[in-house]
Amino acid sequence: MIAGVAVMALSSVFVYRALRLFSFDPEKLGKYFSFKWIIMGHVLGGTLALFTGPFQLWKAFRVKYWRAHRIMGRIYLSAIGVGAPCALILATTTAPLIHWPYALSLHMLASVWLISALLAWRTAVRKKFKQHEEWATRSYIATLAFVAQSFSFELPFVARLGTFAEVSTTLIWFSWTVPMFAYDCVRGLSTRA
């Protein structure tokens, strides 16, 4: 419960900061101005996924309000269905301005975000609910990676590691691979017990 509240609080701050991207002002959008509709689709999709995800993973909510869970699941999947392709477009168009490893890391994260959500949906449709829960969790880890990487750039020790261009690629990879690995380790240990 505490983790869920923390996730929602950090997500709220992240989304509040991202709202500046809902602008038609070239100065505010900078390199994203030519892709204003794409960035808005990415931010809107990501926002919906961030705020519906915790309810999807909250077991008591899922059990008690299973119809709401299904509706919110469709919203979550639709949000990623918009947000992830927009992220892929941005990773192809604006991210190479930093350098190609940065663009590649964003391509991989957006791909994992979309594919894990689709696998969560597919396992739900096939009524493989244990696998559905596992893929939904992985999908939300990828959703949160965007928040984690954003805040990690602000940590003082990260700032001492180098410029944005020097550290961004590593931080993007760390933002989803480390939590995903930890989740799979915990899941693997709990299934053996």
DSSP readout, 137-185?
HHHHHHHHHHHHHHHHTTSHHHHTT--HHHHHHHHHHHHHHHHHHHHHH
pLDDT values of the chain reduced to their tens digit, one per residue, 193 residues: 677 778 888 888 888 888 888 888 888 888 889 999 999 999 999 999 999 999 898 899 989 999 999 999 999 999 999 999 999 999 999 999 999 999 999 999 999 999 999 999 999 999 999 999 999 999 999 999 988 988 888 888 988 999 999 999 999 999 999 999 999 999 888 876 5
Residue 116: in which H helix or E strand, if any? helix 100-125
Domains identified in the chain, total number: 1
Range of the domain at 154: 2-192
Distance, in Å, from the CA atom of 100 to the CA atom of 104, rounded to the nearest integer, reads: 6
| Residue tagged 């809902």 (tokens) | 22
pTM of the model: 0.90
Q: Of 27, 24, 52, 51, which is closest to residue 40 (Cα–Cα)? A: 24
